[in-house]
Amino acid sequence: MSDQAYYITTPIYYVNDRPHIGHAYTTVATDVLARFARLRGRPARMLTGLDEHGLKVERAAQKKGLEPQAFVDSMAAPFQDAWTHLRCAPDDFIRTTEARHREKAQALWRRLEEAGDVYLGEYEGWYSVSSEQFFTEKELLPGNLDPISKKPVEKVREQSYFFRLSQYTDRLLAWYDAHPGFVQPQGRFNEVKSFVAGGLRDLSISRTSFRWGIPVPSANDHVMYVWLDALTNYMSALGGPTEPGSAPLFDQFWGENAEITHIVGKDILRFHAVYWPAFLMSAGLPLPTRIWAHGWLTVDGEKMSKSLGNFIPPEPLVDAFGADVLRYYLMRELAFGQDGDFSHDNLFARYQGELANGLGNLLRRMVASIVANNLGGTVPDVTSLPNTEEENVVIEAAQAAAKKTAERLTAVAPQKALDAIWEFVAVANRYVDRTAPWALAKEGNTERLAQVAYTVLESLRWLSIMVWPFMPDKSDMMRAQLGLPALSPAAGADLWPAEWGQLPAGTQTAPGDALFPRFDKKQQRDIRVKLGIDGDKRKDDRARENASADKSAATPSKSTAKKADGNAIESGAIEFEDFLKVDLRVGTIQSAEPVKKSNKLLRLLIDIGEPEPRQVLAGISKHYAPEQLAGTQVVVVANLKPRTMMGLTSHGMVLAGSDEQAFSVLRVEKPIKPGTRVS
């Protein structure tokens, strides 16, 4: 556990528009990382807030017929409320129109002036109000468009103060060399370095043609450039810049010993990785530790915008699914640092598959069913029972998941952290399938039953901790059902799971509501209607739902068989991204055996590169003898919802095709590593 102070920030949002899920993505990611640091017992602080000055905001106010201050005041609550609804828990919320910020932005200006880095000149060039940024003629897109927002730029000619950015080229390059992790991901760092290595021009840092900003201390007819004003928020919220000893928060979280992470979108990296460090160098202040540029969230493949009608506010999604589900989805869907797509279909699919059938099912079948019905609702005492190989697999998987999740969150890879957690959910669910506690109860094998129950309950305890940064409410619910108090992190106490077997025997469990209640088709449709995504898509969605409901997890269904006769190939092309949603893997069949009392099913154990082989049930016993399959390689649909048949759960599907004459399982032509993705 580290006692190094941890400071993490979101960008401050322009208030010209209401919050949408793109903003939510940044804020949730930052909140997840802050919560993780708190859980590890670190002194941690998270900041978010609003960027309320500048031409863009001034014009948005004019459009509404409001004075800028009245307008920004009206916008603060929607942002604050959105973050509260999303269970984001910043320690502070800064607005750049607050006096505490104005004073500090002016203090920073004075420091730049004292360093001899500010001079008066005249700016002539192009300004983009949408990005609040100057561009050179060369940088513009044809038609004088801002290369980032693709909106028109304006010709500006006015008196302006300049910052001697050109003097910082070498110092910045030297800093980058000495701090290889300063900007992440690495590819973006390379872009920043080559931009700086190309030589920097002095930066215009004041405007005289409008008034909505912080006055330049020595020249009240100038207002500070909105980015210089805005970047200072990271410090002003701590009471800096100021002399050591006069602002405790500033000393603690902006001292040389603090770890400072700015989470930003890729579009605003240059401001954070070039201008901000140069201002800080000039002012003689410490630099942040790391700037993490994440990718953009598109909606059904398109950039989110009001004009395209695909602007998605977070609240209705929170109302429909709950805050934790949206948090989970946003963190799971995008690889941090890369762009990714938001789609309601994926949200539903992840909800039903990973949450309801994965984690929710594990909790429900153990606490509400096995433990309640057979063990009097109490955590059994298994201290005298030696673990078998089956328990050891689960314990090792728990330890591996905790280690990987912590490493990945430390490395700002929330998506990969969730992968590690859900690998463990799968191991625990498979353990339940394999050990079949219902059968143990029937047989009266109480010792073994107790051991299985304890192993799963303890797994759930580990999971309740690992999911906390992502889903704090669901963690609380899980713990309440396990008979444990909610986690309450405090500096100095590392709560991350480390030791197996800490769930006390005798704890009274408390089965409660389903963690993720399954939605039936009607409920799904109602949600779609509420979210306004029913419209034209409704028919398509229904068709898709029906098709997927038809498809058996094990047997080629009638509808697939029909397709083979040629005419029934579904019309309508799908996007490549849609195809990628199907996770196809090469698998080696390790064993095959008939399922008792079934004349169709074979139980296959298939190695698809996971710690444990998967159990897949395939309706092929009429066509294949088990020994024809064992040892051969096939293609497995790996992300299909688990399905239970004849008391066994199938975790995937083997690809096969048939016509009137033959039935054929698709084999892999040359041996290839199990788990290799097929595309």
Name the site residues for ligand MSP (rule: CB under 6 A). Answer: 11-14, 22-23, 25-26, 51, 230-231, 233, 264-265, 267-268, 296-297, 304
Nearer to ligand MSP, 300 or 545 (CB): 300
Minimum Å distance from CB 266 to ligand MSP?
7
Question: How far is Cα of residue 237 from the mean position of the Cα atoms in its chain?
Answer: 26
* Residue 310 token pair: 């695909």
Phi, psi (degrees; rounded to nearest 5) at 134: -85, 145
Nearer to ligand MSP, 95 or 528 (CB): 95
Minimum Å distance from CB 10 to ligand MSP?
7
Contact 655, 608 (CB under 8 A): no
Nearer to ligand MSP, 267 or 300 (CB): 267
Nearer to ligand MSP, 23 or 603 (CB): 23
* Residue 583 token pair: 């996770």
Minimum Å distance from CB 495 to ligand MSP?
30
Quote the CA–CA distance of 145 and 139 in Å, as a whole number: 9
* Residue 454 token pair: 């304890």
Minimum Å distance from CB 572 to ligand MSP?
27
Quote the CA–CA distance of 512 and 375 in Å, as a whole number: 17
Nearer to ligand MSP, 232 or 374 (CB): 232
CB neighbour list of residue 390: distance below 8 Å, 6 or more residues apart: 431, 434, 435
Minimum Å distance from CB 45 to ligand MSP?
17
Nearer to ligand MSP, 318 or 330 (CB): 330
Which regions of 96-247 does DSSP assign to beta strands (E)?
Answer: 118-128, 133-135, 154-163, 183-184, 203-204, 206-207, 215-216, 219-224
* Residue 478 token pair: 């899980």
Contact 574, 582 (CB under 8 A): no
Range 183-187, long-range pairs (CB < 8 A, 24+ positions): 183/269, 183/273, 183/290, 183/291, 183/293, 184/290, 184/291, 184/292, 184/293, 184/337, 184/412, 185/293, 185/337
Contact 135, 146 (CB under 8 A): yes
Nearer to ligand MSP, 22 or 241 (CB): 22
Quote the CA–CA distance of 67 and 63 in Å, as a whole number: 10
Nearer to ligand MSP, 476 or 577 (CB): 577
CB neighbour list of residue 325: distance below 8 Å, 6 or more residues apart: 347, 351, 355, 471, 516
Q: Identify the three-state secondary structure at position 601.
A: coil
Nearer to ligand MSP, 412 or 441 (CB): 412
Nearer to ligand MSP, 288 or 497 (CB): 288
Residue showing tokens 């898509």: 537
Minimum Å distance from CB 133 to ligand MSP?
10
Contact 15, 280 (CB under 8 A): no
Nearer to ligand MSP, 74 or 548 (CB): 74
Minimum Å distance from CB 339 to ligand MSP?
8
Minimum Å distance from CB 616 to ligand MSP?
37
Nearer to ligand MSP, 144 or 149 (CB): 149
Nearer to ligand MSP, 271 or 351 (CB): 271
Q: For 483, how many CA atoms within 13 A lie in the half-sphere containing its CB? A: 19
Q: Which residue, 244, 248, 254, is CA-closest to 286? A: 254
Minimum Å distance from CB 563 to ligand MSP?
37
Q: Which residue, 433, 466, 458, is CA-closest to 36? A: 466
Minimum Å distance from CB 14 to ligand MSP?
4
Nearer to ligand MSP, 314 or 472 (CB): 314
DSSP 21-47: HHHHHHHHHHHHHHHHHHHTT--EEEE
Contact 266, 184 (CB under 8 A): no
Contact 314, 24 (CB under 8 A): yes
Q: What is the largest CA-CA distance in the chain?
A: 89
Quote the CA–CA distance of 522 and 328 in Å, as a whole number: 24
* Residue 101 token pair: 């910020």
Minimum Å distance from CB 233 to ligand MSP?
6
Phi, psi (degrees; rounded to nearest 5) at 113: -65, -45
Contact 117, 236 (CB under 8 A): no
Nearer to ligand MSP, 269 or 366 (CB): 269
Quote the CA–CA distance of 579 and 372 in Å, as a whole number: 42
Quote the CA–CA distance of 539 and 121 in Å, as a whole number: 62
Residue showing tokens 């728990």: 398
Minimum Å distance from CB 459 to ligand MSP?
34
Minimum Å distance from CB 264 to ligand MSP?
5
CB neighbour list of residue 661: distance below 8 Å, 6 or more residues apart: none
Minimum Å distance from CB 297 to ligand MSP?
4
Nearer to ligand MSP, 77 or 573 (CB): 77
Nearest position to ligand MSP, beta carbon: 265
Nearer to ligand MSP, 224 or 230 (CB): 230
Minimum Å distance from CB 412 to ligand MSP?
14
Angle 26-28-30 from CA coordinates, rounded to 5°: 70
